[in-house]
């Protein structure tokens, strides 16, 4: 797989299938290498990946992430290998343990110790039989990893890690834990808005849905943020975790991730005109060159 340097991370739940295909094609035309899609309570990421891959020619599609509690390891392996063969190895499987409030509160499942549960799941995938025709190359897997132990597991058992909602300083720590050979695919939220008040207020609206999730909170505290910073979503929190401002300022933050050891940065463009107004194409076009 040619992972490429710069990708896009985006929710497609509000789009029709036709709109999603058109969006993926436009992202591909701008030169982005990989399109990352999440999984929460909306579209099935495996089904959506198949659709987006079939409607593009060179764009990679990655799950960022597929929830391991939603499917048995052998089923995930079969989906991964099928998508790899269908797309000529343009599918990147990103797996994660999600969050206890989502797994237990929404799905009614039992949430286990994150690192142990992920290790067991990866072992289950490795042991699962797959008897259909496969692509000649082994499809890659990355895992959502924030803390040192999960990062070490990523290095040990997968192609690498996909940290979400972090900072260049966290990227430097992640690279140290992963070693030099593992992929480090970092998500970065970006807002193309020069007005500090508007940019930070937009960022707060996006961050509000995440601030109560324990895995993110624990990691932000490891990153040096205080409980008060997280609860209030103050300027320190926003400026640590978001890239906002001019095109040059956002490019500087992206470069900081690469300088810290990232192999790939997937930008999540947050629309300064409101979350429901759609993808910020001005931002994607500005950063694509």
Cβ–Cβ under 8 Å, residues 271 and 190: no
Is the confidence at residue 256, as pLDDT, over 80?
A: yes
pLDDT band for 184, please (50, 70, 90 cuts). Answer: very high
pTM of the model: 0.97
Residue 251: its pLDDT value, please? Answer: 98
The pLDDT value recorded for residue 275 is 65
Q: What is the mean pLDDT of residues 208-215?
A: 96
Q: Exposure of 236 by Cβ count < 10 A (0-12 exposed, 13-18 middle, 19+ buried)?
A: middle
| pLDDT grade for 195, boundaries at 50, 70 and 90 | very high
Token representation of residue 242: 């978001």
Q: Rounded distance, CA 207 to CA 238, Å?
A: 8
Confidence check: pLDDT of 276 > 70: no
> Is 122 in a helix, a strand, or coil?
helix
Residue ranges and CATH numbers for the domains of the chain are 6-287 (3.20.20.30)
Average pLDDT over residues 3-23: 97
Residues 122-158: tens digit of each pLDDT? 999 999 999 999 999 999 999 999 999 999 999 999 9
- In DSSP terms, 86 is beta-bridged to none
Per-residue pLDDT tens digits for 51-97: 999 999 999 999 999 999 999 999 999 999 999 999 999 999 999 99
Closest CA to 258 of 181, 175, 146: 175
CB 48 within 8 A of CB 79: no
Banded model confidence at residue 112, pLDDT cuts 50, 70, 90:
very high
Please give the angle made by the CA atoms of 146, 8 and 276, to the nearest 5 degrees: 100
Q: Kindly state the tokens that stand for 39.
A: 């999984």
Q: Give the burial class of 58: count Cβ atoms within 10 A of its Cβ; 0-12 exposed, 13-18 middle, 19 or more buried.
A: exposed
- Residues 235 and 93: their CA atoms lie apart, in Å, by 34
State the pLDDT at residue 274. Answer: 77
Distance (Å, whole) CA 112 – CA 148: 18
Mean predicted lDDT score pLDDT of the chain: 97
pLDDT tier at 278 (50, 70, 90 boundaries)?
confident
């Amino acid at each position: 797989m040619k992972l490429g340097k710069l990708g896009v991370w985006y929710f497609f739940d509000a789009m029709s299938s036709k709109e999603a295909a058109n969006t993926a094609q436009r992202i591909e035309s701008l030169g982005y290498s990989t399109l990352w899609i999440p999984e929460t309570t909306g579209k099935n990421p495996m089904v959506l990946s198949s659709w987006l891959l079939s409607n593009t020619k060179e764009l990679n599609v990655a799950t960022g992430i597929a929830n391991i509690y939603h499917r048995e390891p052998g089923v995930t392996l079969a989906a991964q290998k099928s998508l790899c063969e269908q797309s000529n190895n343009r599918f990147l499987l990103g797996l994660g343990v999600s969050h206890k409030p989502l797994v237990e509160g929404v799905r009614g499942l039992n949430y286990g110790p994150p690192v142990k549960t992920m290790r067991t799941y990866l072992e289950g995938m490795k042991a699962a039989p797959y008897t259909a025709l496969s692509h000649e190359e082994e499809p890659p897997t990355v895992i959502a990893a924030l803390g040192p132990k999960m990062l070490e597991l990523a290095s040990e058992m997968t192609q690498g890690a996909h940290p979400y909602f972090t900072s260049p300083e966290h990227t430097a720590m992640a690279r140290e834990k992963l070693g030099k050979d593992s992929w480090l695919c970092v998500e970065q939220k970006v807002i193309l808005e020069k007005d500090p008040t508007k940019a930070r207020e937009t960022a707060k609206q996006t961050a509000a849905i995440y601030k109560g999730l324990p895995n993110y909170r624990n990691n932000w505290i490891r990153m040096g943020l205080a409980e008060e910073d997280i609860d209030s979503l103050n300027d320190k929190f926003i400026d640590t975790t978001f890239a906002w401002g001019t095109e040059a300022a956002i490019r500087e933050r992206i470069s900081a991730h690469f300088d810290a050891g990232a192999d790939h940065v997937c930008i999540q463009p947050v629309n300064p005109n409101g979350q429901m107004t759609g993808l910020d194409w001005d931002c994607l076009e500005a950063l694509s060159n």
